[in-house]
Amino acid sequence: MNLKITCIPGDGIGPEIIAEAKKVLDTVADKYGHTIQYTDILMGGASIDAYGVPLTDEAIETARAADAVLMGSIGGDTTTSPWYKLPPNLRPEAGLLAIRKALNLFANLRPAVLYSELRGACPLKEEISAAGFDMLIMRELTGGLYFGERKTVEENGVRKAVDTLVYDENEIRRIAVKGFDIAMKRRKKVTSVDKANVLDSSRLWRSVVEQVAKDYPEVALEHMLVDNCAMQLVKDPAQFDVILTENMFGDILSDEASMVTGSIGMLASASLNDTKFGLYEPSHGSAPDIAGRDIANPIATVLSAAMMLRYSFDLDREADAVEEAVRQVLKDGYRTGDIMSEGCTRTGCRQMGDLLAERIKQQ
């Protein structure tokens, strides 16, 4: 198979972790007889520096022409970087929001898994972490508060800011269908998270999710208010299988879920449209403080590449090989600084990529 992949190395540690993901992908391609055609585009701060905007139309078209997009991370230090002196629509994050919207990437899948080898890194009490957990946050990504009309005005000398939270039932239905479809391949439980005790958009959300659930009689559906969900994630994370939720709640809860794994450097994500096309990126940010020092953890990006093989290319065997290599390297005691623990061998970013590629060759 010939895989056409657009890469967005981005900012901070982005270029380093993308280089390691490419190394792993090339090894997989070699072993299983595929070819890969990469095209790089700029986004975020790198694009601002080159073109004055966080994403150009040409970059969007290049991404659209590929089968899938693999992204590192974008953005810089929000207090010191000159990018954050620009108007909000020209800052790095605007590029990410724009590409999600332009490519209609409405479904964001964020798995949060407690690896048994990394259980010690889980910040929860041992009686909670002992149960382990394996959840997937299905976050709506192109609607709601992040895409509603917004403005800042001054009325009678008082500044006032307005953000608008809008969902129509079709936007809710299509993400709910994705959530239930994926639950069917997992443990068949959906927790739909909303704030239906206050918000109209949440009441509509709840009613559409209930309609969709009728087509999935095998899936157990429960509703949970977002504030309670934030609490349950630290109290009893093992209860969750698929968490289905709107854009802002998903943004916040997915950071919380990744933190309780204790290893945000390990968590992958996929943003999909209604075809096989997707944008794959680690859940963590650009970590400008450690950029260029060969100490970043490339595993989240490598696992995002595995999700790409699985969801965009239907290459399950190849995706399994990558995931197995990650487990193997952890079992063999190799750790980047962020997940280091006593008795393990510390590796840099490049060496971690080499070890993963080696394990794939040896399998």
From 195, 280, 334, 338, active-site residue: 195
Asked if residue 119 lies in contact with residue 95, where contact means CB atoms within 8 angstroms, the answer is no
Question: In sequence order, what DSSP letters do the residues of 306-354 get, joined into one string?
Answer: HHHHHHTT--HHHHHHHHHHHHHHHHTTEE-GGG--TTSEE--HHHHHH
Pull the structure tokens for residue 55. Answer: 């994403």
Cβ proximity to Mg ion: between 250 and 353 the closer is: 250
**What does 96 bind: ligand IPM, Mg ion, none (CB cut-off 5 to 8 Å by kind)?**
ligand IPM
**What does 97 bind: Mg ion, ligand IPM, none (CB cut-off 5 to 8 Å by kind)?**
ligand IPM
Cβ proximity to Mg ion: between 260 and 321 the closer is: 260
Q: Which amino acid is at 8?
A: I
CB of 96 to ligand IPM, least distance (A): 5
CB of 97 to ligand IPM, least distance (A): 6
Site residues (CB under 6 A) for ligand IPM? Answer: 93, 96-97, 251
In whole angstroms, what separates CA 42 from the centre of its chain?
Answer: 19
Asked if residue 68 lies in contact with residue 280, where contact means CB atoms within 8 angstroms, the answer is yes
**Length of the chain, please?**
363
Question: Residue 251 catalytic?
Answer: yes
From 251, 311, 334, 338, active-site residue: 251
CB of 95 to ligand IPM, least distance (A): 9
Nearest to 7 by CA among 37, 40, 36: 40
Cβ proximity to Mg ion: between 128 and 267 the closer is: 267
From 11, 22, 146, 194, active-site residue: 146
**Angle made by CA atoms 273, 275, 281, in degrees to the nearest 5:** 50
**What does 241 bind: Mg ion, ligand IPM, none (CB cut-off 5 to 8 Å by kind)?**
none
DSSP state of 277: -
Cβ proximity to ligand IPM: between 97 and 291 the closer is: 97
Cβ proximity to ligand IPM: between 110 and 195 the closer is: 110
CB of 136 to ligand IPM, least distance (A): 15
Question: Residue 167 catalytic?
Answer: no
CB of 161 to ligand IPM, least distance (A): 17
Question: In sequence order, what DSSP letters do the residues of 107-129 get, joined into one string?
Answer: EEEEEEE--GGGGGG--S-HHHH
CB of 255 to Mg ion, least distance (A): 6
Asked if residue 182 lies in contact with residue 138, where contact means CB atoms within 8 angstroms, the answer is yes
From 49, 163, 227, 332, active-site residue: 227
Asked if residue 230 lies in contact with residue 241, where contact means CB atoms within 8 angstroms, the answer is no
**What does 238 bind: Mg ion, ligand IPM, none (CB cut-off 5 to 8 Å by kind)?**
none
Site residues (CB under 5 A) for Mg ion? Answer: 251
**Angle made by CA atoms 60, 64, 67, in degrees to the nearest 5:** 140
Cβ proximity to ligand IPM: between 254 and 347 the closer is: 254
Element (H, E) at 271: strand 268-272
**What does 140 bind: Mg ion, ligand IPM, none (CB cut-off 5 to 8 Å by kind)?**
none
Cβ proximity to ligand IPM: between 96 and 103 the closer is: 96
CB of 178 to ligand IPM, least distance (A): 17
> Distance (Å, rounded) from C-alpha 299 to C-alpha 63?
23
Question: Residue 316 catalytic?
Answer: no
Pairing of strands 278-282, 68-73: parallel
The residues assigned a catalytic role are 146, 195, 227, 251, 255
